[in-house]
């Protein structure tokens, strides 16, 4: 039986997703010894980005990044640092925005997404970097081939890149933990709510390293707080199968997936992944909302890699390929992420197997103000009082400002109302909608601020984007 689910998550954005009977998420084989461990999602607050010198990025992108966040730049030695500093100064970049990290550089030095560490908060809110192993970029095929063709036959050297995370952690002055599994960043996505994704190649790669699936899941539970990890079907006939070239997780409930032309050899394989995604439930117990972005050909057979983009605070950086479809891709991003500033960057060095996301890695805010709202269904029965809840975590420990913890809401078409949030448990707050007429649509968002000067909303770009729910008659 097929079911149609319609959910509204932002003004003007409604997605209908057809899906088969969802399967239960795989349980964590062993619960984390410390409750509350959480790995940050990519869309959470960042204070910088990690990139490698010599640059394999367009000048315009680096300049735009530096306007919003710090640049953490890996260099081999003082000579490279001087060259980089002169270049950034010539480009008008504020030197206070640049932090250099001296470290060994291997073949993949410019791909910090793959070798860089993940930001993890423990139950007490302490911040650390957790780092996997990068040994190589194995190639995998479709279906049950389980074929690994190491690229080291080309004598590529990724050992210095694998060790670069240690130097980066030292430069930040934070603890680093290395785990004995492969977690190549372009093939790993976390949602900040205990869920991870990768292509099946990551499972095969770890098994080839002697790490069983059960052990892999135990380590993800213990070190990342990840209790659900989904291995998606490989989607390339033969390739590195990195999921950032396949889809982009927009939040814990929505995923943006590439759509190759119907006559492209990868079209059917991508649709197979879509079928698999439709069997999964998100952390809220609902089907994932699946959005699509057209990825046409360029240079004969290559696909425009628009999902290989970076979300950094309230900006989205998208690779462009100097083809007519670029404009439509940017508009797709804007429709999917209302309120975000969506910027596109052409560069003749982008590849259909790696692009902007692979070469830029977020540096998450250790003192972030974290908000999470368990959205109700898009339609709820009418009631005199409709409760809403939000989690607010001040990881910096400066203290929340009580008078800045608010719910802002309105019946669509009316003026905004502001309600103070009430404590509802540890890091949890509540508010109640009253006086909502039957049949109305309510739009709302939450706001929080801390003594550190941080201010956040959920949705992140409110009031340009808001939550919406319809009330029954």
> In this model, does residue 14 exceed pLDDT 90?
no
d(CA 212, CA 192): 24
Q: Transcribe 336-390 into DSSP letters.
A: HSTTSEEEEEE-TT--SS--HHHH-EEEE-TT-EEEE--PPPSEE---SEEEEEE
The ranges of the chain annotated as CATH 2.60.40.650 are 370-471
The answer to whether the CB of 281 falls within 8 A of the CB of 305 is no
pLDDT per residue over 255-289, tens digit each? 999 999 999 999 999 999 999 999 999 999 999 99
More confident residue, 11 or 90: 90
> In this model, does residue 32 exceed pLDDT 90?
no
SS3 of 205, please? helix
> In this model, does residue 29 exceed pLDDT 60?
no
Q: Transcribe 256-312 into DSSP letters.
A: EEEE--TTSTTHHHHHHHHHHHTT-B-TTSSBPEEEEEE--EETTTEE--TTS-EEE
pLDDT per residue over 384-406, tens digit each? 999 999 999 999 999 999 999 99
The answer to whether the CB of 352 falls within 8 A of the CB of 303 is yes
Under the phi-then-psi rule, with left for phi > 0, alpha for psi from -120 to 50, and beta for the rest, what region is 164? alpha
d(CA 458, CA 87): 38
Pick the CATH number of 370-471 from 2.102.10.10, 3.90.10.10, 2.60.40.650, 3.40.50.12280: 2.60.40.650
Please state, rounded to an integer, the average pLDDT across all residues of the chain: 90
153: phi then psi, degrees, rounded to nearest 5: -65, -20
**CA-wise closest residue to 465 among 309, 216, 161, 251:** 251
Question: Beta strands 441-449 and 406-411: pairing type?
Answer: antiparallel
The answer to whether the CB of 246 falls within 8 A of the CB of 235 is yes
d(CA 433, CA 441): 12
Q: Residue 154 gets which letter from DSSP? A: G
pLDDT per residue over 355-379, tens digit each? 999 999 999 999 999 999 988 888 9
**Can you tell me the mean pLDDT for 289-294?**
98
The first and second tokens of residue 7, run together, are 């959910």
**Can you tell me the mean pLDDT for 316-345?**
98
d(CA 300, CA 368): 44
**CA-wise closest residue to 94 among 131, 60, 69, 129:** 69
At 153, the pLDDT band (50, 70, 90 cuts) reads: low
d(CA 160, CA 134): 10
CB atoms within 10 A of CB 415: 6
* Architecture of the domain whose range is 21-364: 5-stranded Propeller (3.75)
d(CA 356, CA 349): 10
Alpha-carbon dihedral sign for residues 227, 233, 239, 243: negative
> In this model, does residue 18 exceed pLDDT 50?
no
> In this model, does residue 24 exceed pLDDT 50?
no
SS3 of 398, please? coil
64: phi then psi, degrees, rounded to nearest 5: -65, -40
pLDDT per residue over 429-464, tens digit each? 999 999 999 999 999 999 999 999 999 999 999 999
d(CA 172, CA 72): 10
Q: Which residue's structure tokens are 């190491």?
A: 150
Give the pTM.
0.91
pLDDT at 436 (0 to 100): 95
């Amino acid at each position: 039986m097929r079911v149609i689910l319609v959910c509204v998550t932002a003004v003007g954005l409604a997605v209908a997703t057809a899906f088969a009977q969802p399967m239960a998420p795989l349980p964590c084989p062993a619960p984390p010894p410390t409750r509350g461990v959480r790995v940050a999602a990519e869309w959470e607050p960042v204070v910088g980005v990690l990139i490698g010198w010599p640059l394999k990025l367009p000048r315009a992108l680096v300049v735009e990044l530096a306007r919003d966040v710090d640049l953490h730049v890996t260099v081999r030695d003082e000579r490279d640092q001087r060259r980089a500093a002169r270049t950034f100064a010539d480009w008008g970049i504020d030197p206070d925005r640049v932090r250099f990290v001296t470290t060994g550089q291997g073949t993949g030095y410019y791909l910090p997404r793959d070798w860089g560490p993940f930001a993890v908060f423990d139950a007490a809110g302490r911040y650390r970097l957790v780092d996997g192993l990068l040994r190589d970029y194995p190639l995998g095929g479709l279906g049950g081939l389980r074929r690994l063709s190491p690229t080291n036959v080309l004598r590529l050297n990724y050992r210095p890149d694998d060790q670069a995370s240690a130097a980066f952690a030292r430069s930040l002055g934070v603890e680093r933990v290395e785990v004995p599994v492969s977690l190549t960043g372009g093939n790993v996505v976390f949602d900040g709510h205990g869920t991870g994704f990768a292509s099946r190649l990551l499972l095969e790669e770890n098994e080839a390293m002697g790490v069983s699936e059960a052990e892999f899941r135990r380590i993800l539970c213990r070190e990342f707080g990840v209790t659900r990890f989904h291995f998606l079907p490989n989607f390339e006939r033969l390739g590195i199968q990195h999921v950032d070239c396949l889809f982009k997780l927009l939040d814990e409930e929505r995923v943006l997936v590439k759509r190759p032309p119907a006559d492209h050899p990868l079209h059917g394989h991508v649709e197979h992944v879509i079928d698999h995604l439709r069997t999964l439930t998100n952390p809220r117990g609902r089907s994932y909302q699946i959005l699509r972005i057209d990825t046409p050909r360029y240079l004969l057979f290559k696909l425009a890699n628009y999902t290989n983009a970076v979300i950094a605070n309230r900006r989205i950086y998208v690779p462009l390929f100097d083809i007519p479809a670029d404009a439509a891709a940017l508009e797709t991003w804007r429709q999917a992420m209302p309120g975000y500033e969506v910027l596109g960057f052409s560069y003749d060095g982008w590849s259909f197997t790696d692009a902007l996301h692979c070469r830029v890695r977020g540096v998450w805010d250790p003192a972030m103000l974290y908000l999470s709202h368990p959205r109700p269904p898009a339609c709820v029965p009418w009631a005199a009082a409709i409760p809403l809840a939000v989690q607010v975590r001040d990881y910096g420990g400066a203290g929340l400002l009580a008078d800045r913890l608010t719910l802002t809401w309105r019946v669509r078409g009316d003026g905004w109302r502001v309600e103070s949030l009430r404590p509802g448990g540890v890091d949890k707050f509540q508010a109640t909608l009253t006086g909502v007429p039957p049949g109305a649509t309510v739009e709302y968002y939450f706001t929080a601020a801390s003594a550190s000067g941080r201010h956040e909303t959920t949705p992140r770009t409110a009031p340009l984007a808001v939550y919406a729910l319809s009330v029954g008659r």
